[in-house]
Amino acid sequence: MANHISSAYDRDLEAIQTLVVKMGGMVEGAILLASQSLETRDVELAEKVRADDKKIDALELQINEEAARVIALRAPVSKDLRSILTVLRIAASLERIGDYAKNMAKRTGTLVDMPAIAGSDAALRRMAREVSLMLKDMLDAYLRGDAVLAEDVRQRDQEVDQMYNALFREFLTFMMEDPRNITACMHLHFMAKNVERMGDLVTNMAEQVIYQVTGEMPEEARPKGDKTSYMTEL
């Protein structure tokens, strides 16, 4: 009977993991498309990102319902319970990243009629690309139960912070040189901040993978390179 329950639980968990990977792939796409729509000033592509966010939200709801069913039916304990808790936390973080991608897409429509800020669109896309690669590796670490890869993802968040800091300084320079750049730079700054927060959320997920595999959260504080946290957010 115990083996039967264990096999059933494994099948249930595999089904949920498949949903998580599907959701992760959609979120990866949303990050890249949101940054692409900015660089190309493609309003239709930005609208697609906004529309597809509903599909991401629906997947999170489905994952939550399936996880709740497994907890009620299988009563998992110890490592099995950690696996379910990891699923719930990863799904919540993925949903939040999708929201940030949607927020970026919203600002693209506003920026279309404003003068471009030299180099900023491409820089934001490179930053978004790095976060999407972190997310891909985090999902691989999750599926493989690879705490070493998850720690590597965790360490790479500092690179995203440094890219954000560089962009922040550039925006300040542009605004000081010409007040007409202020509005566009403010929108771009908040888009960059959204990407930086995406990196934080991917790092949180990597820590959850480490917790699932080892039973312990990382002891050392993650390296942080964001020096602008004092800024007031909209």
Question: pLDDT of 34-90, one tens digit each?
Answer: 999 999 999 999 999 999 999 999 999 999 999 999 999 888 778 888 899 999 999
Q: What pTM value is reported for the model?
A: 0.90
Q: How many alpha carbons lie under 13 Å from residue 181 in its C-beta half-sphere?
A: 16
Q: 2-214 — its CATH code?
A: 1.20.58.220
The vertex-184 CA angle with 182 and 188, nearest 5°, equals 115
Alpha-carbon span 98 to 83, nearest angstrom: 23
Q: What is the pLDDT of residues 193-205, one digit of tens each?
A: 999 999 999 999 9
Helices (H), the chain: 2-40, 43-74, 78-111, 120-144, 147-177, 182-214
Q: For the chain, which residues score pLDDT lower than 70? A: 1-5, 222-234
Neighbours of 137 (CB within 10 A): 18
